[in-house]
Amino acid sequence: MITRLSAAEISQQLKSKQVSAVEVTTEFLNRIESQDSLYGAFLAVDREKALAEAEAAQASIDAGTAGPLTGVPIAVKDNISTLGIETTCASKILKGYIPPYDATVVRQLKEAGAVILGKTNLDEFAMGSSTETSAYKLSHNPWDLTRTPGGSSGGSAAAVAAELAPLALGSDTGGSIRLPASFCGLVGFKPTYGRSSRYGLVAFASSLDQIGPLAKTVEDAALLASVTSGHCDLDATSIKAPAISTEKLKSGTLKGLKLAFPKEMFGEGTDPEVRKATEAALDALRKEGATVDEISIPTIPLGVTTYYIIAPAEASSNLGRFDGVRYGFRSEGQGHIDVVAKSRALGFGHEVKSRIMIGTYALSAGYYDAFYIKAQQVRAQMTQQFLDAFADYDFVVSPTAPVTAFQLGELSQDPMAMKLLDYCTIPANMGGMPAISVPIGFANNLPVGIHLMAGPMRDEELLAASFAVESLFQVEPKRPNIA
C-alpha cells in the first residue's frame, strides 16, 4: 500500500513512474475520507486543490525536474497560513478566516512540488500538550484511540501515525512537535530558532516558536526540513544561513559520540517504565561506541515555571490582535469596548484566556521586574549552562517525555501535570537549539522517544546522529494496529 511507505519511498516510486502523483494523492485523500473520523487529525481538506497540485507535480516529474518532495502529500498544522484554505488555529475566534497569502514554509513546499492535503487539528493557538483544548474536535492516538496523540501538534502526529499523510508540519514552542512524536512513535524535529521562517505562522510566543516536521523516519524529517528552511526576508528573526542540508545525513555514526545525560532530566513525574526504556537505550548507545556521561544542569527543574511566565507574556501581546473587529469571530455589543470584550470572551477557550491573563499579569506594573525579568534571567542562565555542556559534548540526551500517551481527559483537572509533560523539551526552545525525538521502543505497550539536543546551527550533525540512532533501534517498521 502506498500509504504505508515513507516519503522517501513514495518519492522514489514517483520518479521511477511506478505510480503517478495523482494516484498517490487520491490514495491519501480517500484514506482521510474513510478513516479520519477515528482519529480527528484534520480540520480542513481541500480535495480539489490537492489534486490540482498533484497534476502540476506530475508534469514536473514527466519533465524530469522533480525534487525530493515533488508529488509527495503533506499535512499542515492549522496555525500555519494557507492561501485560500481556512486557518483557524483550532479556535472559534478565527472560524471562517481564509488567509490571503501562504506562509513561507507553505510557499517553499509548493515550489518544491509537494501536495498540501489539508490542515491538521491542534490545541487552540498551540496552547496545550494533548490537543484537548481544540475548539472543534479531539484528536486520538492511533496506537490507542482512548489516548491523546500529544500536543499541540497532535493532529499532525495522528495524521502521520495513522497513515493519512506521509509527512506533516507542526510548530514547537515548548515541545509541541517532539512530544506528539514521542507519544505516536514518530520522528519530530525542531530546527535551530530562525532556521525555518516563522512568516505566516500565527504567533503564540515569538521568541520560542519554530516550525518543523513530523515524519515516520529521520530521512523523511530531514527531507522536509531541507525544503522548509533557509533565510526569509519576511521574517525578522530568520537567520542568514542556507537551507538545512541532507548531504551527510547517512554518514553519521554512534562510535566516538560524546553524549551528556543531565541527571535532572529524570524529574519527579518520570514514569518508571519510561525511565527503564531510556536507561536501556543509553546502554545500547554505549555498546555501539558512544560515551554517555551523567552531568548536572541545575536550571532544568526551573524550566517549566520559567516557560510559563515567558510564553504567556508573549501570548498576551500576540493575541491582542484578535479583537473581533478585523477578521474572525465577532460578537454584537454596545459600543467598541463591549464588542471586543464579548468577542474575546466567547471566541477564546479557557486555556487561551488563562494564559493571556497570566501573561498580562506578569507584564503589569509592579510585577514585570518580579516575574518577567527574573524569568528571562533564568532563561539566559539555562542557555549558558547548556552551551557550556556543548563545549565538552556533542549532544545532550534525555527522554522526550516523562510519560507515555495518557488517556484523553485523564489530566484535564490537573493543569500542572499537563504542563510538566514539556519538562524535557522546554530547554531547547529557551536556548533556540535544535532538538529531535526519535522512537526507541515501548513502555506500557506505547511508544517512547529519546530526545537529542545540539548546539545552535548544528542541525545537520544532529540529524546525522539521529539517523544512526534510528538505525540502531529500528522501531519504524512497527506500526499501530490501524485499518
**pLDDT tens digits for range 366-415:** 899 999 999 999 999 999 999 999 999 999 999 999 999 999 999 988 98
Residue 476 has pLDDT above 80, yes or no: no
User: pTM higher than 0.75, yes or no?
Assistant: yes
Average per-residue pLDDT for the chain: 96
Angle, vertex CA 87, rays to CA 184 and CA 101, nearest 5? 120
**What pLDDT band is residue 333 in, cutting at 50, 70 and 90?**
confident
- Residue 426 grid coordinates: 522546554
**pLDDT single digits (tens) 18-60:** 999 999 999 999 999 999 999 999 999 999 999 999 999 999 9
Q: 171, 189 in Cβ contact below 8 A?
A: no
Q: Can you spell out the DSSP letters for 426-450?
A: HHHHHHT--EEEEEEEEETTEEEEE
Averaged pLDDT for residues 445-472:
97
For residue 401, the one-letter residue type is: A
The rounded percent of the chain whose pLDDT value lies above 90 is 91
**pLDDT single digits (tens) 85-120:** 999 999 999 999 999 999 999 999 999 999 999 999
The pLDDT score that the predictor gives to residue 477 is 52
Q: Could you confirm whether domain 1-483 is CATH 3.90.1300.10?
A: yes
Helix axes 218-227 and 459-473, enclosed angle (nearest 10): 160
Query: Comparing C-alpha atoms, which of 186, 191, 183 is closest to residue 211?
Result: 191
Q: In what order do the strands lie in the sheet with 435-443?
A: 42-45, 115-120, 73-77, 167-172, 210-215, 187-190, 435-443, 446-453, 395-399, 258-262, 291-295
Which amino acids are annotated catalytic?
77, 152, 176
Distance of alpha carbon 248 from alpha carbon 229, whole angstroms? 17
**What pLDDT band is residue 335 in, cutting at 50, 70 and 90?**
confident
- Residue 428 grid coordinates: 531547547
Q: 139, 40 in Cβ contact below 8 A?
A: yes
Task: Spell 328-337 as b/e; 16+ CB within 10 A means b.
Answer: bbbbeeeeee
